[in-house]
Structure 1
Amino acid sequence: MSVKKFIAPQLAVLLILSAVWLAGVDSVIVKNDSHQDNLHKYLQVQRRVVDNYFGETDLNKLYQSSLVGMVKAIQDTTLSIAGTPLDTTATTDIGNLRDSYNHFEEAYLYVANNHPDENMSSLVEASIRGMLGTLDPHSVYIEPEESEQIQEQFEGKFQGIGIQFNIIQDTITVVTPISGGPSDQLGIMSGDRIVAIDDTSAVGYNNQQVVNRLRGEKGTEVDVTIHRPGNPKNMDFTIVRDDIPLTTIDTEYMLDDKTGYVKINRFAATTHDEFIESVEELKDKGMQRIVLDLRNNPGGYLSQAIAISEEFFPRGTKLVSTKSRHSRFNSEVYSRRNGVLKDMPVIALVNEGSASASEIVSGAIQDQDRGLIVGQRTFGKGLVQQQYELVDNSNIRVTISRYYTPSGRLIQKPFDNGAEEYVYEISHRAENPTMDAVQFKEQVPDSLHYKTKNGRDIFGGGGIVPDIIVQSDSVSYLYGFMLSNRVDFNFVRDYLDKNGDDFRAKWEDNYDGFRENFTWNEQAEDDFLQMMKDEGMVLTAESEEISVEGDTLQISVDEFNELKPNALARMKAELARQVWGMENFYPVINDHFNAELREAMTLWDAAENLETLVQITTGSTSSNLNQN
């Protein structure tokens, strides 16, 4: 063989490898399993979105947004992207998934070869978030660890501070405190922003960082600083981590000799079974009518919402429908059997924290003129998500359809102005819920006006407006100061340390007697006052505006005495929790702080004779009703 014949093939190979290297593609990189997984993951996400998203998808937009997401996440701030595969201003024509993948692969490998210190897995996650950010607020990426935690919340137990959160514009936002958890007990609210954890700024955290800082072993403490919209000062909380209660029925009990009460905190895999068990227990106690409390219930499994709704209707009643651009996600759901509560009067309680599955249940009850809805306008989430697992055990949640109440109304509120405006919309509503309802109805276009089964006016486009609107009990600064400083918890703990044996001997076997007759004695009230002072409360002689400065609450003696009964009532409820458990906390709270429930108990004539209410509100006659 001549030297020329030997060298030529080797030279050709060398030139090819050189060209590949100059283009930013390295054969070693391609064979790296982690890079293959990252690229596979990106393709999985795009395919799931294109194949399942309820609305139209634009591959050019999906790709460009993913590229922008990646570039923003690159740590090297000196990187020049002009003229490279990372150039977000370059014009690309993405005709199909292969085009999108090839372009992204080129950008990915360019970074991997030229910037080896970059975390490529994190960059892919950022690109996925950028891609999903073009869709709707509920189509999201879920990291592997977070996926496991979400599964735990619906099917197991975990230890932590007990909140559901989203990261909105780099800020941890409380979606809802988990009922009965440490955050809920402290009075942390939906919409609160966690701006610092253990005196370190939490702005810019990703989901996993939040979980790493807030979850932990039972009994350990974490300090969080919270900004609450409308409050000029940040609030500091010390939260003691605990087992987070995962049952979905907070409590069930009899309000009187014939009225049962069931509070559902979310819709998980066991909710229907728990609900039926609660209903049977209440029936055994004489329940003839039921209050269903869905306040601050953020939703959950669609199947469980349908199963709960079904219990209130006869067979063949339309409960909900779903619509999508993909026909396999279109459905009309009717009750398959006669529900165990189909003939029982019902009042459902809702508020701005009632969302998704809660709105499916309350929407079916309202649309079918089955019962009364009482409270404040609900959140307004009318989208259905499905979760898809990715190659590394992370997940994406993709909106696959819209759901519609039986009348055909979509209660989804607009999300065109971005995720932040969407989430915080509830904080922009009128403080008076009646005014909020009036303003909402005035701006609803004619196309979103609907009728219930028997002709009452109802509205789409922004949650469910209750039949009877009630202002919630307000929370005073004194009450909030007590909760934020854990005075109620610490006071009850100290009280039981000193008086536990005597208290249990008198009351432990007589919870009903405790609810009706227990009051704090003078010594206990003095101890409470001292504990509040120790935490920074300052009493003044003259009535001035209550002020909060840092860790100090300034309040007059007269105002303190006026507000003290509410604080003592909360501590009574806390005493019930620490002695009998969370399910016995709510009856005591409801005895003292529940304007909606008090109003509901006056409405049974209307709820039990809804036809009369329909006639009053629609001007219909009985014969007209029978024809509908």
Structure 2
Amino acid sequence: MIAHKEINKKHNFALIVALAVFMLTAAFIGPSAYVKAVNIYDKIRVLNQIISIVNENYVEPVNWDEALDGAFLGMLDELDPHSSYIPRDHLEGITEQYHGKFEGIGIEFDLLGGYITVISPVVDSPSDRAGLQPGDKIISIDGKDAFGISREEVFTTLRGPKGSAVKIMIKRTGVEDPFEVEIIRDQIPIYSLVASFMIDDETGYMRLTRFASTSAEEVSEAINTLRSKGMSKLIFDLRTNSGGYLEQAVNIADLFITSNDTLVFTNGRKPDMSEVYTANRNQGYGDFAIIVLINRWSASASEIVAGAIQDLDRGLVVGETSFGKGLVQRQWPLKDGSALRVTIARYYTPSGRLIQRPYDKGNRDYYQDFGKKDREEVLDSLRIGKPKYKTKKGREVFGGGGISPDIHIPLIEYNAETNNLLGNPKRLTFNWGTGFANEKKGNWKNVHLFNQEFQVTDEILNDFYSFVGEKEVIFDKGDIGSDKAYIKSVLKAEVAGAIWGRSAYYNVLVSNDPNIRSALPHFEVAKEFLNAN
């Protein structure tokens, strides 16, 4: 429990500082701002009074770190859905996700059966070079038993300075005895482009999961690689990409535009927060047609890219109407190691469309609204009376609610039993796939032959169902119904991933993706846009 005198001293000091700032500021502000400052000071006094009463009288000791973090979050919730306070213990993970690198051994992992289980080694990482495989279980680290380890302990034990060593004991399916591997830690890139390959002789595919600090560089390198393989058509998959850095979105959009057109512009309360971002005609690629795939979870930076390509008639946008996040945040570090993200501007597509959805009904409705089954029908009806805009070549588009696709492909919904199997925390498909791959991996020379020759038969599917039963997961396979083909495609992808890595997993999954199959015929129209530019 925090001593009453100590907390009162701290908050009295805070009030003195706030009052001093208020008195100094008041001399330089007009009557209207003066009144607002008085109101803010009154609320600070009330907050101090609440803290004092709670600290002195509440029935149990108060965790003031959590309580005040909650107060900060509540205050920011009143502004908009995307301004936020990031506690110190969350900030490092969030920053790392978008910064693009860390130092360690380089594995994608999960905790399965009490042990660290390798989902996939990061390509060309120390774990990859040491020969770690999907499904490997790390049973000890530097001689210490790793059973029951927490995620936080995984990070503290496996990560470390570049050049330092760690010894891990591996238990591998099909190998009788555990064996030890010494791995020298290195700098590990966190790739945001998780897949890049040719679907066929002409069509390239790229899947970007977030807009991190290295995303534009990753996309540029992938484009060059795919062009060298003969790509004349590209599917750029931004489904479920929730965004990231604005600058990276601008740089990626610039890769597809060969004119000096505006890519996006922002409008803020302060002049220095309003900017116009223009394409550099000398660095765009204009020799392939493009289709951008989006869904209801594509947001923010994804919408900047999709909006620029649509408004400038560079290609087609296919899928569902996107999330509708058109607010720009700036992050400020705070003295205790936490951070504050505040909305500083709204962003607009080249035609002038504001992509931000209304949020006047509160955060609960804002986030629940986009998950409704009839969302697309509701959005269509709401477009009546919405502002209309024109693309560069005169096509009509609408503002006020995300990016509407040129070609609508509805969300495929799977039943509860399917979601239970595929989303189960025991990672049923992965575990089955690694076991099956261990027995069969010598049957195919490469993923291309595997994809052509291997099919998940009903017999193999029943083997998976038996495996699920052994894991004591209750399900009714009779309720799978029409989802059987999808489950088979996931199982096939898991086998490929277990043999050749995560890129192979996506390669096989994409080749059986019904949304991508639906998008491919629309390249005829996308080519018309390319030829007209």
TM-score after normalising by structure 2: 0.74
1:250 aligns with 2:187: no
Write the deviation string for residues 139-192 of structure 1: whole angstroms up to 9, x where unpaired.
Answer: 111100111110121123599989xxxxxxxxxxxxxxxxx89xxxxxxxxxxx
Write the deviation string for residues 68-124 of structure 1: whole angstroms up to 9, x where unpaired.
Answer: xxxxxxxxxxxxxxxxxxxxxxxx985265555455445545655677943444343
1:584 aligns with 2:498: no
Q: Is the 8 A contact 1:257 1:286 kept in 2?
A: yes
Match of 2:95 among 127, 144, 151: 151
Alignment of 1:378-527 (within 5 A): 378-430=322-374, 436-444=375-383, 446-477=385-416, 479-483=418-422, 484=424, 486-497=427-438, 499=439, 503-507=440-444, 509-520=445-456, 524-527=460-463
Q: How far apart in 2 are the matches of 1:132 and 1:482?
A: 38
Q: How far apart in 1 are the matches of 2:329 and 2:13?
A: 25
Q: How far apart in 1 are the matches of 2:521 and 2:43?
A: 61
1:260 aligns with 2:215: no
* Residues 581, 28 of structure 1: alpha-carbon distance in 2 compared, 3 angstrom cutoff: closer
Write the deviation string for residues 515-543 of structure 1: whole angstroms up to 9, x where unpaired.
Answer: 11123578745532422444568xxxxxx
Q: Is the 8 A contact 1:315 1:334 kept in 2?
A: no
Q: Is the 8 A contact 1:383 1:402 kept in 2?
A: yes
Q: How far apart in 2 are the matches of 1:400 and 1:28?
A: 36
Displacement of 1:386 in angstroms is: 0.6
Displacement of 1:487 in angstroms is: 3.0
Q: Is the 8 A contact 2:196 2:205 kept in 1?
A: yes
Alignment of 1:74-89 (within 5 A): none
Q: How far apart in 2 are the matches of 1:299 and 1:40?
A: 41
What secondary structure does 2:317 align onto? strand
Match of 1:217 among 151, 154, 161: 154
Displacement of 1:595 in angstroms is: 2.4
Alignment of 1:270-349 (within 5 A): 270-349=214-293
Displacement of 1:554 in angstroms is: 5.4
1:570 aligns with 2:490: yes
Hey, what does 1:601 align to over in structure 2? 520
The one-letter code sitting in structure 2 at the alignment partner of 1:302 is L
Alignment of 1:17-416 (within 5 A): 94-95=37-38, 101=44, 104-105=47-48, 107-108=50-51, 117-155=61-99, 156=101, 217=154, 246-416=190-360
Point out the more displaced range, 115-124 or 466-475: 115-124
Displacement of 1:246 in angstroms is: 3.4
TM-score after normalising by structure 1: 0.64
What secondary structure does 1:603 align onto? helix
Hey, what does 1:169 align to over in structure 2? none
Q: How far apart in 2 are the matches of 1:359 and 1:109?
A: 46
* Residues 491, 125 of structure 1: alpha-carbon distance in 2 compared, 3 angstrom cutoff: closer
* Residues 428, 519 of structure 1: alpha-carbon distance in 2 compared, 3 angstrom cutoff: closer
What secondary structure does 1:555 align onto? helix
Q: Is the 8 A contact 2:414 2:483 kept in 1?
A: no
The one-letter code sitting in structure 2 at the alignment partner of 1:304 is Q
Q: How far apart in 1 are the matches of 2:266 and 2:461?
A: 55
* Residues 245, 523 of structure 1: alpha-carbon distance in 2 compared, 3 angstrom cutoff: farther
Displacement of 1:438 in angstroms is: 4.8
Q: How far apart in 1 are the matches of 2:354 and 2:216?
A: 25
The one-letter code sitting in structure 2 at the alignment partner of 1:574 is E
Larger radius of gyration: 1
Displacement of 1:567 in angstroms is: 2.5
Point out the more displaced range, 601-610 or 334-343: 334-343
Displacement of 1:30 in angstroms is: 6.4
Q: Is the 8 A contact 1:411 1:462 kept in 2?
A: yes
RMSD: 3.8
* Residues 271, 39 of structure 1: alpha-carbon distance in 2 compared, 3 angstrom cutoff: farther
Q: How far apart in 2 are the matches of 1:340 and 1:440?
A: 33
Write the deviation string for residues 537-561 of structure 1: whole angstroms up to 9, x where unpaired.
Answer: 8xxxxxxxxxxxxx332517xx76x
Write the deviation string for residues 191-248 of structure 1: whole angstroms up to 9, x where unpaired.
Answer: xxxxxxxxxxxxxxxxxxxxx9875538x9xxxxxxxxxxxxxxxxxxxxxxx99310
* Residues 607, 523 of structure 1: alpha-carbon distance in 2 compared, 3 angstrom cutoff: closer
Q: How far apart in 1 are the matches of 2:507 and 2:61?
A: 57
**Any stretches of 5+ residues in structure 1 without a counterpart?**
1-25, 47-57, 61-91, 163-179, 182-211, 221-243, 431-435, 538-550, 613-624
Q: Is the 8 A contact 2:266 2:345 kept in 1?
A: yes
**Any stretches of 5+ residues in structure 2 without a counterpart?**
23-31, 111-118, 121-148, 158-187
Q: How far apart in 2 are the matches of 1:309 and 1:150?
A: 24
Displacement of 1:316 in angstroms is: 1.6
Residue identity over aligned pairs, in percent, reads 34
Q: How far apart in 1 are the matches of 2:310 and 2:108?
A: 37
Displacement of 1:310 in angstroms is: 0.6
Displacement of 1:491 in angstroms is: 1.7
Q: How many residues are treated as equivalent by the alignment?
A: 447
Q: Is the 8 A contact 2:320 2:410 kept in 1?
A: yes
Q: How far apart in 2 are the matches of 1:608 and 1:490?
A: 42
Q: How far apart in 1 are the matches of 2:33 and 2:72?
A: 13
Q: How far apart in 2 are the matches of 1:126 and 1:38?
A: 19
Point out the more displaced range, 291-300 or 323-332: 323-332
* Residues 405, 93 of structure 1: alpha-carbon distance in 2 compared, 3 angstrom cutoff: closer
Q: How far apart in 2 are the matches of 1:40 and 1:339?
A: 55
Point out the more displaced range, 326-335 or 356-365: 326-335
* Residues 29, 471 of structure 1: alpha-carbon distance in 2 compared, 3 angstrom cutoff: closer
1:555 aligns with 2:474: no
* Residues 364, 97 of structure 1: alpha-carbon distance in 2 compared, 3 angstrom cutoff: same
Q: How far apart in 2 are the matches of 1:111 and 1:59?
A: 32
* Residues 478, 129 of structure 1: alpha-carbon distance in 2 compared, 3 angstrom cutoff: closer
The one-letter code sitting in structure 2 at the alignment partner of 1:470 is I
What secondary structure does 2:371 align onto? helix
